[in-house]
């Protein structure tokens, strides 16, 4: 007949085991919270951008678009194309003077228009500047985490490829995210003439 042996634990043994388990558990939790805190406190420079390109002349509706003369701020434009670019600081530190550049991949001209929804106190701190015919700069003294620069441009024709958006800043991660939803401003610009463009855009039938 087989006899079964049992391990009998004294109260002090049980207390010791509970203490050991608690020590391991506390160590794991301490490591987890320390790592989480380190991730939050570590400086992370990051920008995201999204883009929308909208032709504003409906060639299917108006058959003689080739007879239109289009000007913006005195500059002749072959077509009327609205370019919307949002720059988002999705990092955890403010970025000072990030060198953000919008550059055409071909000979399509990019013309600065305006910045939408500039926060109070940021007039003159966020601006768009033209570097040359195919390149514009978004100039910002700083962009706080979570802030969005909504830069708006015109292009003289529908580009074969989307413009490049770059920011050659040390230790900065930049990536494109989903495109901007169709803007009601872009869709109705020719009907209602957005105030920022109304005095500058001229459509003249020859």
Instruction: Return the pLDDT at 206.
Output: 39
Asked, for residue 59, whether it belongs to a domain, the answer is yes
pTM for this structure? 0.69
Instruction: Return the pLDDT at 205.
Output: 42
- Residue-wise pLDDT for 117-158, tens only, equals 999 989 889 999 999 989 999 999 999 999 999 999 999 889
Instruction: Return the pLDDT at 6.
Output: 53
Instruction: Return the pLDDT at 54.
Output: 93
Same domain assignment for residues 86 and 177:
yes
More confident call, 203 vs 140: 140
Is the pLDDT assigned to residue 11 strictly greater than 90? no
Asked, for residue 5, whether it belongs to a domain, the answer is no
Those residues whose C-beta lies under 8 Å from the C-beta of residue 77, and which sit 6 or more positions away, are: 70, 71, 109, 111, 154, 156
Give the model's confidence band at 51: pLDDT under 50 very low, under 70 low, under 90 confident, else very high. very high
Same domain assignment for residues 49 and 148:
yes
Same domain assignment for residues 88 and 130:
yes
Which structural domain, as residue segments, surrounds residue 23? 10-42
Same domain assignment for residues 35 and 52:
no
Asked, for residue 103, whether it belongs to a domain, the answer is yes
- Residue-wise pLDDT for 153-165, tens only, equals 999 889 999 999 9
Asked, for residue 2, whether it belongs to a domain, the answer is no
Asked, for residue 1, whether it belongs to a domain, the answer is no
């Amino acid at each position: 007949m087989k006899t079964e042996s049992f391990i009998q634990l004294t109260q002090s043994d049980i207390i010791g085991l509970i203490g050991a388990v608690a020590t391991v558990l506390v160590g794991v939790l301490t490591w987890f919270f320390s790592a989480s805190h380190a991730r939050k406190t570590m400086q992370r420079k990051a920008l995201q951008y999204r883009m929308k390109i909208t032709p504003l002349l409906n060639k299917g509706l108006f058959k003689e678009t080739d007879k239109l003369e289009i000007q913006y701020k005195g500059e002749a434009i072959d077509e009327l194309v609205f370019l919307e670019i949002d720059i988002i600081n999705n990092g955890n530190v403010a970025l000072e003077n990030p060198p953000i550049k919008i550059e055409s991949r071909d000979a399509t001209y990019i013309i600065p228009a305006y910045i939408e929804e500039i926060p109070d106190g940021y007039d003159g701190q966020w601006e768009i500047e033209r570097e040359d015919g195919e390149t514009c700069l978004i100039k910002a003294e700083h962009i706080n985490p979570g802030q969005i620069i909504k830069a708006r441009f015109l292009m003289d024709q529908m580009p074969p490829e989307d413009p490049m958006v770059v920011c050659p800043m040390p230790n900065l991660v930049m990536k494109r995210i989903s495109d901007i939803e169709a803007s009601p401003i872009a869709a109705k610009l020719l009907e209602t003439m957005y105030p920022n463009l109304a005095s500058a855009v001229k459509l003249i039938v020859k």
